[in-house]
């Protein structure tokens, strides 16, 4: 076994493990408390207090030296918590989580193509990292179509919806990277739609 094949095998195995880690985080961890906490830190950092039904409540803050010192301590601790929560949200919130799953699935597809179909490839070697780019394009297409049809698609995502979304995106990303002709057909389909729309609405110069 050559060092190149060994490296691709190890990279593929690690990518599969990372995919399962991301999938477990997206399935088991609820990102809403972390997103709500960020909103609270934002209010503290800007010196504003927002709460529901607070029209009858008035707060006065004395700008003493001790109060300013307390606010500075809260801000410093809030910043650490802010970046920690941002990191957790990136890994667990459905839109970002399924995006990373698509990237990893595309990478796995590119690595699998180099390992399993090497003898069948007669053209120039397909760059492995291009699989990641293909996964990103598949994710962008999905997000664009979702927001065109639904106003708030990720407002209250159920576990079943997450599993279906993650599975479909990962499958398309893997297959498009494993067999680039599938990705070419997808992009060609969009090109045909664009040409059809251009023919129906020709631009006339004055």
pLDDT tens over the chain, length 206 residues: 677 778 888 888 999 999 999 999 999 998 888 888 887 754 444 444 444 444 433 433 344 444 444 344 344 455 668 888 899 999 999 899 999 999 999 999 988 887 776 645 544 455 578 889 989 999 998 888 777 766 676 767 788 889 999 999 999 999 988 887 777 776 666 666 556 655 655 444 44
CA neighbor of 87 nearest in space, from 74, 100, 104: 100
Closest CA to 113 of 30, 178, 21: 178
Residues composing the chain = 206
């Amino acid at each position: 076994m050559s060092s190149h094949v060994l490296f691709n095998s190890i990279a593929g195995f690690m990518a599969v493990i990372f995919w399962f880690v991301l999938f477990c985080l997206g399935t088991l961890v609820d990102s809403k408390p972390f997103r709500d906490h960020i909103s609270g830190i934002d209010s503290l950092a800007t010196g504003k207090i927002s709460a529901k039904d607070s029209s009858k409540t008035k707060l006065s803050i004395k700008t003493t030296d001790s109060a300013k010192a307390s606010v500075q301590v809260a801000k410093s601790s809030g910043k650490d918590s802010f970046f920690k929560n941002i990191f957790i949200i990136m890994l667990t919130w459905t839109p970002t989580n399924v995006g990373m799953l698509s990237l990893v699935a595309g990478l796995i597809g590119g690595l699998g193509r180099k390992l399993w179909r090497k003898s069948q490839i007669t053209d120039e070697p397909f760059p492995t990292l291009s699989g990641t780019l293909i996964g990103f394009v598949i994710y962008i297409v999905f997000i664009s179509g979702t927001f065109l049809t639904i106003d708030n698609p990720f407002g209250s995502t159920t576990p079943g919806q997450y599993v279906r979304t993650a599975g479909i995106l990962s499958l398309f990303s893997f297959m498009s990277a494993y067999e680039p002709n599938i990705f070419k057909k997808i992009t060609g389909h969009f090109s045909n739609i664009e040409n059809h729309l251009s023919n129906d609405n020709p631009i006339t110069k004055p």
